[in-house]
Chain A
Amino acid sequence: MTLPSRFQPSPGSIIDFPPEASCFQIEGLGLSYSGKPALRGLSLRVPRHRVTAFIGPSGCGKSTLLRALNRLHDLNEEVSYEGKIRLEGEDIHAPEVAVDELRRRVGMVFQVPNPFPMSIYDNVAFGLRLQGGLTRRRMDDIVEWALNAAALWDEVKDRLRASAWSLSGGQQQRLVIARSLAVRPEVLLLDEPASALDPISTLKIEELIRSLKSQLTLILVTHNMQQAARVSDYTAFLQDGELVEYAPTDTLFTNPSLRRTENYITGRMA
């Protein structure tokens, strides 16, 4: 059976997971900004409790795809969708899905560390306070747990009341990760989380990502292929809004099945 090459450039190059092993199932997703298509006919499944990386040249749509997963495009009236995104089998655009609840389940970390102008403690407690109904004790516990999970507790435990903006860039990014973890998401989306950081901070973030996959599913967008190779279990290569190849990271980087992929990862094209 041959599909139109537009949608499935090479059938063998797309890895498939059974629905029960995947948390996100994306089916024929298309997305356009005021009529201009940014994503086209994109279908893939994201495995649960693994790190999946989206790579591709600038403007290929990898960040757009990531933001579609927690409906962050909703604020932009010019964005229109087609196709389906399912989270644990449930269409995230279904009318009965509350977008704030979806975003609580699918956390996100951005390229530039964006702690709120509050204390370190208040930053981590922000999402918890939105939900409400927690005792002080319980809140303290969760904050400590989240900071520990983000490998930041030892560095900030003595100054939880200090402004989050007094932390270094790398610490801020880990704080933002702790803030996301505190609401116990099922998926964490990371949009080039280390691109604004120095090498040591980057290393810490990468270690953190690897350590977190036992607890939740991580999806990483990066323009740094070494990072994708180091951190992720599966890698999807996107180009011009289309999914080109999706394979276990080892396979994709050592033995890509398509010329386009090989050209990109060996640096023969921008």
Chain B
Amino acid sequence: MRRRRPLPRSEGPWAWLAAGSVALSLLMLTALLLLIAVRGLAHFWPATVVQIEMQDGRLLAGQAVRELPLEEGHGNERLYFTGNRDLDGEIWHWLPVDAIASVERPPELTVLERRHHGRFIGRLIAVGDAGTIDGNHAQQAVWTRLEARLAALEQLRGERERLRREVLRPLIRRLDANPNDADAQLALVEANARVYDLQLAMRGEVALLESVDGRRLRQPLEEVLRAWRPNAMSLPQKLAAWAGGVWRFLAEGPRDGNTAGGVWPAIFGTVLMVLLMSLLVTPFGVLAAVYLNEVAHQGRWTNLVRIAVRNLAGVPSIVYGVFGLGVFVYGIGSSLDEWFFSDSLPSPTFGTGGLLWASLTLALLTLPVVIVATEEGLARIPVEQREGALALGATRFETLARVVLPMAVPAMLTGVILAVARAAGEVAPLLLVGVAKLAPQVPVDGEFPFLHLERKFMHLGYHIYDTAFHGSDVQAAMPLVFASALLLVLVILVLNLTAIFLRHHFRVRHGVQPRP
């Protein structure tokens, strides 16, 4: 018997259109991530430093940043990062490409990362005591000496930090509790003396520096954080330096008005705020959903509440910020201050923006998402499951607690995932209820009560905004903006993955649904 095979029916243009949209979205997403990843991560690469001789005889040293065409027919103009703010008053130079006579890469060119005035780019002449320094040392010996001294200084700084953290702060806490503790007073004097000794040991040495055009500079070594000679570095050395740079960006606090240094307090603040928000929003959202779906009489009134809750999700976030400011900060916060912290008035404790109010505001903002997701999860649980529990003699509450809620946990976590995704990227309401430009002290420390809910905190989203628009040098801050943006994306990704992992765990624990 001959069987006729059906001809494949063309799906028409719709399938192509749909697939094309997906491809385009994916492409845009990848491009976006690539852009912020490349621009952000390139910042930490120890880029080659060139010495430029202009046709008019001027000498400059710096790193090429980018090139733009000049007006019609005048060739290109190149931007160099030249550092040396203390010598030039300017760290950027736009040079017409046609006016450049030669570009060299002398291996001895040195870059110094300094606590003040940003980077130095030039030559290292000598290292020695401030009084007796002269310029007659062999290059290699000087470089070795500088590296040794910088390592020693790093160690001294670490020792000082350790002393402050482990000896001084506990002592001060002891004295706060009992000002007449003679042992503590003695120990404090001793510890202070040791810190002073350390600081003395750091002082006194200078590096004699020379820019490529021959101007000399005496740079106190204690101000120098790092030094490297990018032209003399091998690829593994550069990679190590890059990794170190990325690590310092993640682990250190900001310097120089957020234009340099790391973002650790901002990472910490973002994660802590989101976690607190999740802790606040989950129980409220779940209870509200349980009431709406399980307890309340289903009628017009409950539907009205449902519509209201869904619409709350559409309210602009800044409105929540205003609400948080008015109710939490000025309302509840001020009252708390009057009742419990009247000693420290007029300086406010809870009567100003802080971690708690920010978390609460964002919890309110994300509440509808959690309620809706949980309610949908509860509604999906088959009626046979509930009846099965009831038929075994379970009360309504026991059915809810032992069968229905455990089965709805994945749905609740879906709600939390959506809430985290929304809250972690939210900046506008935070401006009103507690984010700070600079709060190097993170809200968790060894001091009772360990979690300081009243403190202001840093947030990656706000840090990006602040670095991009409020710094003294936008050009210098741009790479940090990209790096922070990349980090914000990664933080949200990690938070979401955690929740997704949890959800998967619960799904597996409750078995896979036997029926669709």
Q: Which A positions have Cβ atoms within 8 angstroms of B?
A: 70, 72, 75, 77, 100-101, 103-104, 107-108, 110, 112, 114-118, 126-127, 130-131, 163-166, 172, 176, 179-180, 183
Contact = CB atoms under 8 A, between A and B. Distances in A.
A163 B407 CA distance: 14
Contacts of B382: 112, 114
Contact of B510 (A100, A110, A117, A127): A117
Contacts of B398: 130
Interface SS of chain A = helix
Which of A70, A112, A116, A118 counts the most B-chain CB atoms under 10 A from its CB? A116
Contacts of A166: 511
Contacts of B511: 117, 163-166
Given A72-B387, A110-B384, A117 B406 contact: yes
B514 A165 contact: yes
Nearest to A168: B514
Contacts of B406: 117
Given A117-B511, A130-B398, 14 more contacts: A75-B390, A77-B297, A103-B393, A104-B393, A107-B391, A110-B384, A112-B515, A114-B382, A114-B384, A116-B388, A116-B403, A127-B392, A127-B393, A180-B392
A107 B392 CA distance: 6
Given A110-B384, A114-B387, A116-B385, A103 B392 contact: yes
A10 to B, nearest CB: 34
B389 A116 contact: yes
B395 interface: yes
A8 B140 CA distance: 116
A130 B395 CA distance: 9
B27 to A, nearest CB: 41
A180 B407 contact: no
Given A117-B406, A126-B402, A72 B393 contact: no
24 contacts: A70-B391, A72-B391, A100-B394, A101-B393, A103-B393, A107-B391, A110-B384, A110-B391, A112-B515, A114-B382, A116-B403, A117-B406, A117-B510, A126-B392, A127-B392, A127-B393, A130-B392, A131-B393, A163-B510, A165-B513, A166-B511, A179-B388, A179-B392, A183-B392
Contacts of A114: 382, 384-385, 387-388
A72 B406 CA distance: 22
Contacts of A179: 388, 392
Given A112-B384, A163-B511, A165-B514, A126 B389 contact: yes
Interface string B469-509: 00000000000000000000000000000000000000000
Nearest to B508: A163
Contacts of B394: 100, 126-127, 130
Contacts of B403: 116
A110 B387 contact: yes
A103 B391 contact: yes
B393 A180 contact: no
Nearest to A123: B388
B512 interface: yes
Contacts of A130: 392-394, 398, 402
